[in-house]
Every structure is written in C-alpha cells, then in structure tokens.
Structure 1
C-alpha cells in the first residue's frame, strides 16, 4: 500500500536533493581526486610500488583497482536484494541512513591510513565507502517517483545532480585551499591535509544527510509481511533477461554498453592513479585536473545531446566511442604533464556525454511493458558488473606487466568491441513482437 507523500513539494524536493550534495563528496574527493593520489604516494617505499597483499607482492595500483572492482561487484550482487527491500520495506529512510553512515565511516577511517603497514585499513575504508555510496543510491533514487509527478521528475533529478556537483566541488576546492597553503599554515606533515580531507568528507556526508533524513518520509510503502519475497529483485532480472531474447537490437546494444562502459568507468576511476604513477603529478595538479574534468563533463553532456538530435542517438554514441578509442591510442604515449592535461580535456568532453546518452538511448529502446524499473535495474547491474570486470582486469594487467600503460591497450580493445557491437545494433531492426504481450517501440534512436 502506498504511503501518502506530498508530491512536488519544494521543501521535500530540496531536502531530497541535499542528499546528492552530501554523498557526492565521496565521488569527487575520495574516488576521483585526492585519495587515489594519496594512496599511491603513501604506499610507495624507497621507490618501490609493490606492497604486501595477502601474503604476496603486488603493485599498489593493482591492489587499489582490484579492491575497487570487487566493491562494485559486491554492490552489483546485492543491488537486486536492495531493490526488493526498497519495494517491500516500510522504512526506506532507515536503510538510506544505514548505507549513508556506512559510507561516511569508511571515509573517516581513511584518516588513520598513514603508511603501507596500514594498507588493509586504507583498502577496507575505501571498500566500505564505495558500498555505502552505491547502496544508499538505491534508496535515494526510490524516493524520486514518490516526491515528484512524472512530468517533473526529469527536472527534479537534474536538481539533485546540480546540488551534488556544487556540493562536491565546494568541498574539493576547500580542501585544495588548505593543501596549497600548507607551508603558510606551518604544517610540516605532508599527509595531514589529505587525511583531514577524508575525515571532513565523512562529516560532510553525515552532516548534510541530516536534512533529507529529517524531512523525507519514513517509507514509501506501508510495511506488509504478507507475500514478501526478498528474491523478487533477482527474479525480475531473470524476467528481463528472458525478454531480451526476443529483442536482438536491445540485447546487442546492452552487450555493446557493457564493453564500452567498462572502459569509460575504468578511466574515470584510474585516471588520477595513472597521472600520479606514470606522469608523477602532485596532488594539487591532479585536483585541478579533476575539476577540469567535472566542468568539461557538463559541457560534453550538452554537446552530445545536441549531436544526438542532429545525427541520432546511435550515431552520436558511435562518435563518442570512436573518440574514446583515439584517446586510448594517444594516452599510451603520454609522457609529460601537458600530454596528460590534453588527454584530460578530451576525456572530459566525452565522459559526461557518453553516460547520459547511453541511459537516454536505452530508455528509448526498452519496450513499453510497464516494467521500466525492472529494465533499469538490469541496466544498473550490467553497469556495475562491467565496472568490476574493467577495474579487476586493469589491476591484473598492471600487476602482471608492472606498468599501467599496458592496461590502456585493454581499454582500446574494450572500446573497439563496443563500437563493433554498436554498429551491429544500429543495423538491426526493432522486434515487431515481444514475448508476454510486449508492445512495439516507435521511439526514434
């Protein structure tokens, strides 16, 4: 039974968007800008980048990449369960709070990561933060259709995105100011301000999350134990998979998406590590690069939205994936900081565009079954599984060859496969008949 929730209420919507303000600090400060560079620096001993990891030696960046990949793999595994809890629980807010606090505590633990002997603490804190971030998003997203009518959901979702961007960049710039003024403040410990940024991220996350946790309704559905089945999320994924057999165009697109998004997400998470390890950039330079990526990502999203109107979604995606292939080819030969900044410029242009365009293309291709949530759950699990595969394979190749440059070759292969499958998908006709009385889609792509 639906719990009455006032829709299109400005106070409720702003409170909901503030959770994006709160948790996006993890995505920018921990996952993208400061922690990867700090981790690489703190785990390097006497010029050696190999660390002790479960009884064997491994490249520090390989351990980081594999740890991050396994984090997303775990989230992909439990996402259907979380979706079922979201559907059947009468207390969405408590689950949102649980994952919020889990992620924030993971960030705070990184403050105590002061050397290679505590590498398990560093990787464990990162894993907790990642699980908390991804797990809380499930319940955060579930509130959207409950607080806004369908005609306003795109606008409300965009508000959440903008709140998250402003909040995360505000905190990152604040941390940058402290790092740049370390000497002026008389601080001799080079690790202090980076570690304080991790601690501050945790407090920021929990602190600003109190606004949505106070304003948002306790639950979206009344608690009902009758017929509750927490395996429904997995059953829904199986149902979508069976339906995809009769939809060759959509199925081929999803396989293409799996390969190219594997490359995109791996670049986004490992670019900072590459800059620190291979180009020897400092934390300040890397933070400025990440800020550049953020600004360009927004412009790139609008650029590819315009391109999709002119050439169609599939052609625009082909152009984006083709550009990624060129970026990989050029990145293999990066030597100087200038080369890195040039690569970052082009990555920023295609980074936001390919993600937003992939989701909108998928939305146009799914059949009108009344089961959009199931299809998007499948899409989300596919993306997180791809992230796991990409990051683990990157780490494996990094450790095997001792150079992150060789992992770029794998990225180029993934993008090539994705482009070939995109071309095949574009040539396939949409299915005229779907199983289980699915209706035909007439959406232009």
Structure 2
C-alpha cells in the first residue's frame, strides 16, 4: 500500500469492526446452519423443513431490522447518538452469539439466533453511515473494500480455531456439542475485543443538533426523506435496484450451507469450501477497490451482478462436492466487491448530514431483500420439496436488479446535501 493509500488511525479502527463482526457472519453461513440442521434432525425434523425454518428465522430477523432501521438511523444522525446506538446493538449481537453456546432446544436456538441477527444487522446501519465521518469521498471505495477484504481474512482466525475444535473434538476429549459451544464463545469474544478501538476513537462529524422531543423530530426528519425524493431520484432508483440484486447475494450467503447439505454435500466439504471463500475473497475485494480508481464504480457493480447471476444458474444443477467448491470460489470473487462498492457508492450520493437516515433506508432495502430471498427460498423449498426451486427465484432477482440498476445509472443528477437542497428550493 503506497503512502497515498496509507490508512489513517480512524480508518483502520473503522475497518476493525468488519474484522470483528465477520467472525459471526462466517458462523451464520457455515457452522450455525449445520449445527442447527443436525439438532433439528435429532428432533425428527426433515432436511427440507429445517432449511425452511432456518430461512424463516433469518427472514424474521431481517424484517425486524427493516422496520426499526429508518427510525434508528434518523435518531443516530442526532449529535452524540450514533456511537451509543452502535455500541448497544453491537453488544446485542455479541451476547446473542455467546448465548448460542447454552444447552437449549432447537426452537430456543432459533430465537437467540434471531436476537443476535437483529443486533448485528442494526449495528451495520450506524457502522456503514460512519464511513462519511471516517474518510473522504475519494477514499471511500478503497476503505470500504479494505473493510470487506480484511474482514474476510481476519474472520478466518477464529473460524479456523473453531473448525479445529469441532473436527478434532474427540482428540481434545470434547464432544462435538461442547466444542461448538466453545466456538460460539470464542467468536463472541473476538467480535467484542476487535471492536473496542472503534468505540474509543470514533467521533460523529456530520449530524443534526439535539432537539426537544427527539423521537417526534426523528419521525419528522424521516418523513422529510420522502419529500426530498425528487431531489434524490438517483438515490431512490439505486435503492430499488439494490433491493433486487442484493436479495440474491444475501440469500446465497445465508442459505449456501443449508442448500449444499440438501443436495448431499458433506459437512466437512461445506465448511472447508466456505473457509476457502473467505481466503479467496480477501485479494479480490482489494482488487475491486483498486479497480474502482480506474473504472466507474457503477460498471464494476454491473460486472458483479452478472457474475452472481451465472453463479446462481450454475447452482441449479449442483450435486457434487467439487461443484460446491467451484461455486464457493466464484462467489468469493464477487462477494466482497458487490457489497463494498454498493456501500461506498451509496455513501457518495446521499447527503452527508443525513447519512444514518439514508443508511436506515439502505438497510430497509438490504434487509427487505434478504427477507424476501430467504423467505422465498424457504417457501419454495417446502412447497416443491427441493431447494433448487428457491435458487431459480434468486436468478430472476439478479436479472431484475441488473436491468433497474443499468437504467438508473443513466440519470444525470447527483446526491445533494440537505443544505444545498434548501438553497435550491429557496431560489425557485
């Protein structure tokens, strides 16, 4: 990394949260669904039903955050509110992760999983909106991409230790259930410790002043966003496209292991293939961050959407371990890039002083998409008794997302700050 690209202390501490929370994100896409499906199987629940139940749980979590997101984001834009709200929901996620280690039934396990998912998902609203406080527009693509890249490689540390504990539980005089419980605790501690530098150093730069009746004012400002939609057509056009294409991305991340298990891939192949995903995703996330300095951010996002569409089509016929490994590598190429570039692109086109409010909407569309994708995959899997039916729906989502995104890119207007909007309106 050249001197020009050298990270500031605040940028580095912001990236640390990606490294910390990615440990839990990786658990959600690997160990947690496998552990849950094995627990459910011991209770006499079929593979198709357990996949559906896990999909419903993920959908409930995303729906809760989608409802709370805009108001939480609006509150967070008030001076002094962003860090406390971020810390509270981060701790909900950490405590939820740790609580999965308790000896509980599969139903209680899903309930705690929903609690932890709400915590981590809500924390992203505040974390993503911090991007405009910790860096400049010119560095956003690089910093955002590095966050995802280092998150992927950093999460491999606690995950690898967890994997060793689980796979070699017998040699360590542990049963698999105890080893998995230790893994949940280990990842919760990792998440908390790695996040502390950001909590200590972050200061909110862009904000609105504290007002009386804060909650009432928050709803007022929330309504203002809709009234500003004509000035920010590009923002809302992007959000609609984002809803469709990120639907497929989140569903693949959340349901990959459940799908792989349903088509006959062994637990060990699933875990090691997804570990490989993290390793491969690291350089490619950095690569796309570098490419963003030479090519249009929007063109790179389009490339990622097309890449994901072909991955979903390939998954329709997947039934061998090597095919799952190949799919995992292909996902790794685009996974970090499409999320990082979408996050930084959105941060550039929204008003800086309302970043949390707009990222609340960003989260609505992101989590709403995740709800739609996981719910549809769960529902179609249960109806047809085959996970491939759900994957077909995801293919359609990518096509719609690409078409809307491409059309929206033709818009000429750019995001304006709320102050500029007011000035323009006063001139009319």
| TM-score of the aligned structures, taking structure 2 as reference length | 0.82
Q: CA deviation at 1:303?
A: 4.5
TM alignment of 1:338-353, pairs within 5 A? 338-353=322-337
Q: CA deviation at 1:275?
A: 1.4
Secondary structure of 2:176's aligned partner: coil
Q: CA deviation at 1:420?
A: 2.1
TM alignment of 1:149-298, pairs within 5 A? 161=148, 164-187=151-174, 189-209=175-195, 215-216=200-201, 226-245=211-230, 248-282=233-267, 284-298=268-282
Contact 1:65 1:394 in 2 (8 A): yes
Return 5+ residue gaps in structure 2 as ranges. Answer: 1-6
Secondary structure of 2:159's aligned partner: helix
Q: CA deviation at 1:280?
A: 3.0
Change (3 A) 1:359 1:219: closer
Instruction: Give me the whole-angstrom Cα distance separating, in 1, the residues matched to 2:347 and 2:330.
Output: 26
TM alignment of 1:381-392, pairs within 5 A? 381-392=364-375
Q: CA deviation at 1:68?
A: 0.9
| TM-score of the aligned structures, taking structure 1 as reference length | 0.79
Per mean C-alpha deviation after superposition, the further-off stretch among 141-150 and 95-104 is 141-150
Contact 1:36 1:272 in 2 (8 A): yes
Instruction: Give me the whole-angstrom Cα distance separating, in 2, the residues matched to 1:218 and 1:300.
Output: 31
Q: CA deviation at 1:378?
A: 2.6
Change (3 A) 1:102 1:333: same
Q: CA deviation at 1:411?
A: 0.3
Contact 2:96 2:116 in 1 (8 A): yes
Secondary structure of 2:100's aligned partner: helix
Q: CA deviation at 1:127?
A: 0.9
Q: CA deviation at 1:27?
A: 1.2
Q: CA deviation at 1:60?
A: 1.0
Contact 1:40 1:276 in 2 (8 A): no
Instruction: Give me the whole-angstrom Cα distance separating, in 1, the residues matched to 2:407 and 2:208.
Output: 46
Contact 1:325 1:416 in 2 (8 A): yes
What is the count of residue pairs matched by the alignment? 416
Instruction: Give me the whole-angstrom Cα distance separating, in 2, the residues matched to 1:408 and 1:99.
Output: 32
CA RMSD of aligned residues (A): 3.8
Aligned partner (choices 395, 411, 418) of residue 378 of structure 2:
395
Contact 2:73 2:125 in 1 (8 A): yes
Instruction: Give me the whole-angstrom Cα distance separating, in 2, the residues matched to 1:311 and 1:220.
Output: 30
Secondary structure of 1:334's aligned partner: coil
Contact 1:90 1:220 in 2 (8 A): no
Secondary structure of 1:111's aligned partner: coil
Does 1:124 pair with 2:122?
no
Per mean C-alpha deviation after superposition, the further-off stretch among 338-347 and 79-88 is 79-88
Instruction: Give me the whole-angstrom Cα distance separating, in 1, the residues matched to 2:380 and 2:310.
Output: 21
Contact 1:109 1:121 in 2 (8 A): no
Instruction: Give me the whole-angstrom Cα distance separating, in 1, the residues matched to 2:100 and 2:261.
Output: 19
Q: CA deviation at 1:329?
A: 1.5
